[in-house]
Structures are given as C-alpha cells and as structure tokens.
Structure 1
Amino acid sequence: MASIRERYGKWFEEISNFSRAAAKIDVTNVYQKANPNTKKLMDQLVADNMAEGSHLEGVENFKAFLAALKSGKSGLILMEHYANTDLPGLIWLLENSKDEDCRELGKRIVAVAGMKLNEADPFVRAFAESFTRVVIYPTRSLDSATQTAVSQEEIEAETKKARAINLAAMHAMDNCKRNGEAILVFPSGTRYRPGKPETKRGLKEIDSYLRMFDVMLLVSINGMILHFDPENMNDMLADDCAPAVCVYKASPVIECKPYRKEFLEGLPEDCPDPKQAMIDHVMEYLEKQHNGVAETVPGITD
C-alpha cells in the first residue's frame, strides 16, 4: 500500500487550482455545492481502487428510498464510517449502477460534514468539495475548542459561533428536504479507529435527525480502500490507499417517527439517557447488517 500523498500527489496542484470552497466556515457558506472538476479526480481515485466484486446490496431498498423522496417524504441516510472514501465510494457505486433509480439517487445525496474538512488542509478541502455538503460545527469540535480556550469570553464566543453555524445548517437541510434531496449523516460523527470502540458509538444528537425526517435508510459498509496510518492518525493524506472489494448494503426503508416511538416506548421508565439508547439501537442494527455481509460475501476484508 501507498499513501494518498504518495500515489496521488501529482494531482495536488491541479486539484488546488480547481478548488473554490471556503477555507473558513460561517453562516453564509454552510451549504456547499459539489465541484464537478474536483469530483472527476475523486471519482478516478475511487475507480482505481474499487476492486472487482464491489457492489451495492439491497438495490431494491435504494430504489424504494428514492421513490419515497419523489413522493414528497424527507429522507435521511445513516451510514457507517470507516474511511474518508466512504461517501465517495457510495456515490460512485450509485452513479455507475446499471439501475437508473440508483444513478438518480446518487445525484440527490447531500452529506453533513464537519468544519475540519474545510479548514484543516487545502488538499483535504479540495477533495471534500467534490460532493455536495451541509457543513456543521460538531459537538466534539466545540468541546475541543472550549477546552483550549484561555478565557470565558473565548468560550462564549466560540459557543455562539457554533450555534449560529448549526442553525444555518438546519435551515440549509430544510431547503434540501424541500428540493427532494437526501441528507446523509455518519451517526458516529467520526471514522472508526481500530481498538477504539468509542469511535464507533453513535452520537445522541442523531436522535434529533430521527425527529426531523420522514424516512431513513441505514447503510453498512464492508471493505475499505483507505486505511489509517498508525503513525499519522490525524493526517488524512497519510492514509494508505489500496484496491479492495467494497460492499454498501441498504436496509429496508424505515419510517423514522414510528420507529423511534416504538423503541422509546419500550424503554424502562428509569432509562438514564433515552436519546443515547435510541442511537445505540440504530448502531446495533448497522453492526448486525455489517456482520451479515461479512459472513456471506466472499473477498471482504475489513
């Protein structure tokens, strides 16, 4: 394996010239439309590394989800998160599907992304802008910022900034819903790091999404074309890149509000954190779906 920097460094100057996304996020730029020029390069990276046998599972469920969007329902995709190519891989498989509905769905997906992808590194930003996104100020990032703040005034200013950005992001998502677009969220909020099970736990804030949307699709991922470099965990361009068989499986379409209501009503009255229990239940579903693919599809390695 070789890192993205080693294999695709030749693209960096070109992709930087194409880049147009904001390096700083504020309330005016939380919705960022895909950049078709950088997407061509990202699509090539994915195509280079999607090994033979990579495919979508549950095509009928992807199709049913699109039908729900077309009927006027708001749609949410909750997807596992292992690598920075998780979203590009899904979009590539959908847009290159033989099925017309899958291709259309691929063009309707809007991902929720943290500010770090825009602000941390110009090359990471250029890759990230290949896909339409709504950018948020994640809770984890705010916690980190407040811990390093040197005064109460700084904490209050950063908290105010986070609230303003996230309110603007909510308005942007509302517009996406009205336009028949699907919002894709990684419920863990971060990539899963081997040996750190806490990075695979769902964030309780995801419960608010279940209240905001009509239907959802749970998508598990088996196989990765990017792997963390243990010596450079925070350097996204140091991730090792190599061909792999990747399978993205969709659950049946789930009606969000009845699903949430039924689960919460079954909790004991003394449950200390119903919201966390709700998203834990969702993550258990994804884990079971993931393990089922691992047991039945040959050539899969995680």
Structure 2
Amino acid sequence: MNISVERLLEMIEALKNNLHGDYVARPDNVYLEGEPKNRKIIGDLVEKIMKPGSAIRGVKNLKELYERSQKGKACLLLIEHYSNFDYPALYRLIEKTEDLGPEVAETLLPIQGMKLSESSGLTAAFSNSYNTIVIYPSRSIDSESDPVKQAEIRKISMPINHSAMKELTHRKYHGNIVIVFPAGTRYRSWVPESKKGVREIYTYLKAFDYVSFVSINGNLLPPSKEDNMEKDTFQSDVILFTVSKPVKGKDFRNEKTALTPEGTDSKQFVVDQVMAELDKQHQEAEECRKTLL
C-alpha cells in the first residue's frame, strides 16, 4: 500500500472533522445523508490500496439495472459482504468506470445496521460518509436469548425498522438502487454462520421489480479476529465486483420456491438459493482474479 501511517491518520482526522450530522437511529432519522468531501477522501484511499486489475465485471448489467431504476422500477443489488470497505470500493470503481460514472454511483443506497452509524470511531467515519438507510438488524435482535430483554429490544427496533421500510419504499421508486447484504454481516471464516443469508431477504425479493447479484473477490479490509471493527487492517488487493444480469424478483422467488423440498421452510430455502447464486458467481470470478494477481 503506497500510503504512510501518518497520512492515513491525517485522512481519518479529516473524515471525522467533516461529519456534522445526526447519526443516532430513530424512527424520524433513518435516512442518513453522507458527506461528499469524505467520499472523495475515501475514494482516493481506495485507489491507493486497490491493485491494478480491480474492476466492475458485468458493466452492461449494472447499466441496465440503473436505466430501469430511472424509469421508476424498484431495483435491488444483493451483494456479498467481506469487509467494511466493500461498499467504498464498489462506489469508487463505479465512479471511475466508463458507461457508469458518478451519476450511477450517486443513486446507490445501502441498507446499513445502526451499529455502523452510531459507533464513534473509524468505522463510523467511513460509513457515515455515504447516503444510507439505517435499520435495527435482525441478527442483533435474535442474538438476545433473554425473552424480557428481547421484548425491550423489539420496542425500540420495530418503530425504527417500520420507518426505514417506509423510507425505502419511497426511494426505491424515485431513482435509487437499493443495496442489501443478504448475510447481514461480514463473512468471517471462523464464524461459519456469517455466510448464511437472513430470512428477511425473501421479503426484499418480493418488494423489488428487478434484482442483480453482486459477488466480491478480494478484500481491502479483512475483519479482525478479535471481533473489533476498529482493529481491521488495510491490505492491498485486486478487487473484482461481478454484477449479474437483472432478473425479476418475482420470477426468481417463484422459481426457487417451486424447488423447495417438502418439510423445508420455503422462505429460508429461497434465501439459501440467493447465497448459492452469489457463491457460484464468486467461484467463477475467482478463477479470473487469479490471473490478475
């Protein structure tokens, strides 16, 4: 990586100084507007640590999804998730890719867990630099085993998530391409369940006209084994984002539902097929990436 520790610290300080918004998740504060100055700083950092050969594969597919979104169709990107720099890398590559550019990048709207936006450190400085809709993640709710505490969490989470879905409904029909990470968390090989798609993705498939699957090969910010996002460490790598041809969410859902084995939860089965689609795409793209390393 062609960047000194001193320069990195300077950039982090600049990011924090540029952020003046209210990032606390509440029912009246689920759409968070990012800071354009920071997106340039982060984008420049991405370019420094990405190795030559990093690219968007399937540019025509993303362009098609963008054009559909501009015609009022609800469009969704379901993306693999490996690091907190997945989205900044995707954003920068789209900005710099011929036939896409800033006009496409600016329509992207990721759904983000409130933990990212409300933290006070480096992670929040990056995540709050981009426009997002925040939700209270289902994993955080389900991980609480105490029924009383879980009920208390639901009292807080339900109004936030209800408002987030209302905001999402408005924006998906007004030119935004919504981004969802179906696993709901970054994949960590030492936590196998982090690869499993969350059941709510079935609802997203119902709610969108068109969906493209995006696999990610390469990682600029591998998760720390200490499960502390502040300790994630940058690394240089070749990053490939592969975008599939848009399919109708309804068609994908119906096709996979029909294949559900008897006695199996059909909604979770459909979500598992989303993850299988992403994994298949990932494996194919990795063969291409190996030639670039």
TM range (shorter): over 0.9
CA deviation map 1:78-109 (0-9, x unaligned): 0000011101111100011122x454221100
Query: Residue 256 of structure 2 corresponds to which residue in structure 1?
Result: 263
Contact 1:26 1:165 in 2 (8 A): yes
Compute the displacement of 1:39 (Å): 1.5
Q: TM-score, normalised by structure 1?
A: 0.90
CA drift of 1:299 comes to 4.6
What secondary structure sits across from 1:34 in the alignment? coil
Could you list the runs of 5+ residues in structure 1 that have no partner in the other structure? none
Q: How much does 1:3 deviate?
A: 11
- Find the aligned partners of 1:25 and 1:84 in 2 and give their Cα distance: 19
Name the amino acid aligned to 1:295. Answer: E
Query: Are 1:2 and 1:240, in contact at CA under 8 Å, matched by a contact in 2?
Result: no
- Residue deviations 1:104-124 (CA, integer Å, cap 9, x gap): 221100000001012222432
The match for 1:240 is: 233
Residue number in structure 1 paired with 2:221: 226
1:290 counterpart residue number? 282
1:113 aligned counterpart, secondary structure: strand
Structure-2 change in CA distance of 1:120 and 1:143 (3 Å): farther
CA separation of 1:164 and 1:43: change in aligned 2, threshold 3 A = same
The answer for the alignment partner of 1:86 in structure 2 is 86
Pick aligned residue for 1:176 from 171, 175, 187: 171
Match of 1:35 in 2: 35
Matched ranges for 1:1-302 at <5 A: 8-99=8-99, 101-144=100-143, 146-147=144-145, 152=148, 154-230=149-225, 232-234=226-228, 236-268=229-261, 270-299=262-291
Unaligned runs of 5+ in 2: none
Letter in 2 for 1:233: D
Moved more, 214-223 or 121-130: 121-130
Q: Does the residue aligned with 1:291 lie in a helix, a strand or coil? A: helix
Count the aligned residue pairs: 293
Relative to structure 1, the CA distance from residue 275 to residue 190 in structure 2 (aligned partners, 3 Å threshold; closer, same or farther) is same
Contact 2:238 2:289 in 1 (8 A): no
User: Could you tell me how far 1:300 is from its partner in structure 2?
Assistant: 5.6
- Relative to structure 1, the CA distance from residue 4 to residue 262 in structure 2 (aligned partners, 3 Å threshold; closer, same or farther) is farther
> What is the CA-CA distance between 1:4 and the residue it aligns to?
11
Shift of 1:196: 2.5
TM-score, normalised via structure 2 length: 0.93
Tell me the secondary structure at the aligned position of residue 227 of structure 2: coil
